[in-house]
Amino acid sequence: MSSNYNLFATEESVIESFSEKLAQKSHFEASEIEQILKEYKKLFKSTKRLVRMSDRKEKELNSLNTLMKEKNALLELLSERLSRYISPQLAKTILEDKQDVLLETSRKKLTIFFSDIVGFAEIADKLESEELTYHLNAYLEEMTKVALEYGATIDKYMGDSLMVFFGDPVSKGVKEDALLCVQMALEMRKRIRSLINNGTILPFKTRIGINTGYGTVGNFGSKSRMDYTVIGKEVNIASRLEGVANEGEIVVSDATYQLVKENIKCEERGVFELKGVSHPVKAYRVDGKKSKGKNSSHIFDTELFGGAASINIDSDKLTQEEKQALLKFLEDVSEKLRYEEKLERENQ
Amino acid sequence: MERIFIEKTESTPLVDFDFEKGVFLLKGESYPENVSSFYGEIFEKLEVFVRESEDRDISVEIELIYFNSSSVKAIMNFLDMMEELANNGNKVTINWLYEADDETIMEFGEEFSEDLESVEFHLKEI
């Protein structure tokens, strides 16, 4: 639709007409002044009305803005509550409308993690329910905290077991996902040890299994109630590797090992025939992170005995005096350990 | 004069101006990108209609739920034309329709009616 229509044509024609008259003569008749006055009054009325309407619209806009802020706050609260039941990444993806809540799945390369507490059934048998709840929740709280720090998608809790995965709904690439998963497992082991040492939780012994491979990830269930999870044989392998891990051990499959070996120190753990898996699976025990220094002879960064001991020394950063003090300290530690060992031998 | 019928869009109202019957309808939201361009052709026809009509019954129904400031000016121009029609010996009735809980639109109707002396203006809750 094309038109030369001018919204302010009337006002402009009044201005134009009187400008012309003003250019032609210096004296105006009373009737002409009355006409100007009439037009001016009309304009004044219109202006007042437009200002009033504009103010009203502004007021309405402000109240809508307030309402929107309230709704946003409510949405944030609901999102925060929702994220306690599902993975925060997943909640965020759904709430930001990046993913439809449909019964849809896709095949992706994921790194899947399983952990549990060794002998949990026996521990549960000996404890009162409240005490057990407290210790289990404190344990899972810390595990979850670490998982979220590393960007894991928390799949589910099954009693004392935890299943998380990397690679969906967000992925940093297959290699980085695998590395983050193993680094997360190491951090979990460290934090749990610290909780045990300060007496927050019972001396739970955890074991962890990790595998990388293609899985079907997405929503499973019914349209009215669905679970976001991953299924496939690689999930089974991760779960079974957790089963073969000893107390405090992190066991990864060869597939995961190949992705993390540049950054993570691992020891071959053997080849396993796992239940429900048609082929033997080569596995590795994760010992710790590899040192990042260019000259590794100056740096010691080692986790020993399933994380029961760790040494982290960057000798380049130490002054001569500090090196002397460190040597003295290590000699003291050595002496103390020998003394403890001697006592144990004598007591046997 | 040919009837004007424009379907409503997200930002423009339904326009149904039946010049034969003297029945005009504006319904929906009005915040076109270019108000002059949207209302221009409609108002140019309306100006001809105003000049040519006398002793007629004109019925106008306006049911707008949102309009921007430029549309306010367009509505004022439209109402001026209706007032002129009424002053030319036509019987002009305007029904300003608003939803029960929409005080803003009701107040806008009150505001617009203040300038009308010859037009019969009704505020109607729907």
pLDDT in tens, A43-61: 888 888 888 888 888 888 8
The alpha carbon of residue B89 is apart from the nearest alpha carbon of chain A, in Å, by 22
A292 near B CB under 8 A: no
Do the chains contact at A7 and B70, CB–CB below 8 Å?
yes
The β-bridge relationship of strands A161-166 and A299-304 is unpaired
**Domain residue spans of chain A:** 86-286, 291-337
Q: What is the predicted pLDDT for the residue at A70?
A: 95
CB-defined contacts A:B, below 8 A: 54
Residues in chain A within 8 Å Cβ distance of B36: 3, 5-7
Q: What is the predicted pLDDT for the residue at B45?
A: 93
Do the chains contact at B37 and A3, CB–CB below 8 Å?
yes
pLDDT in tens, B39-66: 998 999 999 999 999 899 999 999 999 9
Q: What is the predicted pLDDT for the residue at A24?
A: 86
A62 near B CB under 8 A: no
Q: Which residues of chain B have pLDDT under 70?
A: none
Do the chains contact at B107 and A10, CB–CB below 8 Å?
no
**Cβ atoms within 10 Å of A41's Cβ, excluding its own:** 10
Contact at 8 Å (CB) between B26 and B63? Answer: yes
Q: What is the predicted pLDDT for the residue at A46?
A: 84
CATH top-level class for A86-286?
A: alpha beta
**Which residues of B fall below an 8 Å CB-CB distance to A?**
35-41, 43-44, 69-70, 72-74, 76-77, 80, 104, 107-108, 111-112, 114-115
B44, B72, B101: which to substitute to probe chain A, counting the most A Cβ within 10 Å? B72
**Length reported for chain B:** 126
Q: Which residues of chain A have pLDDT under 50?
A: 1
The β-bridge relationship of strands A250-253 and A161-166 is unpaired
pLDDT in tens, A65-114: 999 999 999 988 887 887 777 777 677 777 776 666 666 778 999 999 99
Distance CA A61, CA A69 (A): 12
A66 near B CB under 8 A: no
Q: Selecting from 3.30.450, 2.60.40, 3.30.750, 3.40.50, what CATH number does the domain B4-125 have?
A: 3.30.750
A197 near B CB under 8 A: no
Q: Which chain B residue is nearest to residue A47, measuring alpha carbons? A: B73
The alpha carbon of residue B59 is apart from the nearest alpha carbon of chain A, in Å, by 23
User: By C-alpha distance, which of A177, A288, A157 is closest to A229?
Assistant: A157
DSSP class of B118: S
Q: Which chain B residue is nearest to residue A6, measuring alpha carbons? A: B36
Coil, strand or helix at A87: coil
How far apart, in Å, are the Cα atoms of A167 and each of A111, A139, A176, A180, B37? 7, 25, 9, 10, 52
A60 near B CB under 8 A: yes
A5, A13, A47: which to substitute to probe chain B, counting the most B Cβ within 10 Å? A5
